[in-house]
């Protein structure tokens, strides 16, 4: 399996609901380093998994909608505990949409799977990984 990775970061604010979260129930900020790994069985005919530049632009677009905002104010995220795990899947789903739409270039239709990791610090991170439907 061939893999290529891209990285960006995003600064957000949010709060959590529930006693489990202790002081994180209050509004607080996070800066996530976001890694996206794209997996493909073959790299023919162009010898790339996807166009790294296009993939980077797609990730930048996904994160731009979140950057410097309070996630609690996003209509699609209202009343959701936007944990690192949840947000890893959120980014995954939007990057999967980008691959399906052709935004990653010709190789996007051949992707087998993807992994998105959000690093919330140098000692803590969460990932979401899954297969991608193959387009013909």
Would you write out the chain's pLDDT as a tens digit for each of its 136 residues? 999 999 999 999 999 999 999 999 999 999 999 999 999 999 877 899 999 999 999 999 999 999 999 999 999 998 899 999 999 999 999 999 999 999 998 888 889 999 999 999 999 999 999 999 876 5
83 token code pair: 């944990």
CA separation for the pair 66, 8 (Å, rounded): 13
Phi/psi of residue 85, nearest 5 degrees: -60, -45
Q: Is residue 57 part of a domain?
A: yes
The domain that holds 60 is classified in CATH as: 3.30.479.10
Residue range of the domain that includes 76: 2-13+24-130
Mind giving me the DSSP string for 67-128?
TTEEGGGSGGGTTS---HHHHHHHHHHHHHHHHHHTTT-GGGGG--EEEEEEESSSS-EEEE
Whether 18 is in a domain gets the answer no
Ramachandran sector of residue 91 (left: φ over 0; alpha: ψ -120 to 50; beta: rest): alpha
Q: How does DSSP classify residue 120?
A: S
- Answer whether residue 135 is part of any domain: no
Overall domain count for the chain: 1
Establish if 108 belongs to a structural domain: yes
């Amino acid at each position: 399996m061939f893999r290529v990775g891209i990285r960006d970061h995003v600064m957000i604010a949010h709060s959590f609901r529930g006693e489990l979260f202790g002081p994180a129930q209050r509004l607080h900020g996070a800066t996530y380093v976001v890694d996206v790994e794209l997996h493909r069985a073959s790299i023919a005919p162009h010898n790339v998994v996807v166009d790294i530049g296009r993939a980077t632009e797609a990730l930048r677009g996904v994160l731009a909608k979140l950057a410097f905002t309070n996630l609690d104010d996003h209509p699609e995220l209202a009343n959701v505990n936007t944990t690192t795990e949840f947000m890893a899947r959120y980014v995954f789903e939007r990057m999967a949409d980008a691959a399906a739409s052709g935004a990653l270039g010709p190789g996007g239709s051949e992707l087998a799977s993807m992994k998105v990791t959000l690093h919330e610090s140098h000692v803590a991170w969460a990932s979401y990984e899954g297969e991608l439907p193959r387009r013909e």
